Copies of this chain bind each other. A is one copy, B any other.
Amino acid sequence: MSEPSILRAREGDIAIVTFNRPRVRNAFNLSMWRELRATMEELSADESLRCVVLRGAGGHFSAGADIGAFAQERGTREKEDIYAEVLRESMQSIRLCLHPVVAALQGSAIGGGAGIATMCDFRVGGHNLRFGITARNLGIWYPYSSIDVLVQMVGTAVTAEILIEGRIFNGQEAYEKGLLSRLVADDQVEGEALALAARIASGSPLSARFHKQALRKLRGSLPITPEEERAAHGFVETEDFHNAVRAFLAKQTPKFQGR
């Protein structure tokens, strides 16, 4: 039987969640997204906790969605409607978690990996971090609810650099752009993330929970209808998406046609 792809540990009143597919830089397939949600929901229900730390095994946070699994899990409208819903619920489980969540960002936090990091309340990163969202390399459209979290954090201009340019930031750049709460040496990322979690845990948990939900609540509901949200899955019906995935898997550069 294989090792679980998400591990859990506890140090005092802090939970530590480890993404554990180091051979693929902790890339997420559908079942791992589901495991993340289940994990976060269980931790959220545990009122004895004060903080949650997310980290990746093997020196990387996460390379995002597992493109090798696309052929099976995505690629038709029907499959994408399911995949997108699982992804959305998984991302929201971090935002909705009762406790503050800290991301310990070593190595790569790319695509959905960067997406997970932006759902957290705090991000600690190292100088050699590679942070970016590569949806535009594959002809994917990033979901409205995840774009909105970025805009609320760093504004529209930095969000455009991330999504439209597809820029990959190193740690220093990510810090300057407001994407990291803290920048430290690479070998201190996990130590600093745990120290930050301990500081958070030393404060009033009811205050932390109130303030976390207040930040969500003040956003109000998004001006996006369910139909518009679903229309954003339409990229799976473009030629460009299918060609780009094929090119990626063949280690070729995709040629986009705009259709």
Contacts and interface: CB of A to CB of B under 8 A. Distances in A.
Interface in A7-53: 47
A89 to B, nearest CB: 20
A207 B141 contact: yes
Interface stretch (A66-74, A78-86, A216-224): A216-224
Interface stretch (A108-116, A184-192, A198-206): A198-206
A235 B215 contact: no
**Interface residues on chain A, size class:** 35 or more
Chain A binding site: helix, strand, loop or mixed by DSSP?
A: helix
A96 interface: no
A4 interface: no
Nearest to A228: B217
A256 B205 contact: yes
A151 B215 contact: yes
Nearest to A162: B211
Given A156-B153, A218-B148, A206 B258 contact: yes
Contact of A212 (B121, B137, B161, B164): B164
A163 interface: yes
Given A123-B157, A151-B152, A136 B203 contact: yes
A159 interface: yes
B218 A144 contact: yes
B157 A207 contact: no
Q: Which 6 A-B residue pairs are closest in the complex by CB-CB distance?
A: A220-B223, A136-B203, A139-B204, A136-B207, A163-B211, A141-B210
Interface of A: 47, 100, 121-123, 135-142, 144, 147-149, 151-161, 163-166, 177-179, 181, 196, 199-200, 203-208, 210-212, 214-215, 217-224, 228, 232, 235, 238, 240-241, 244, 254, 256, 258-259
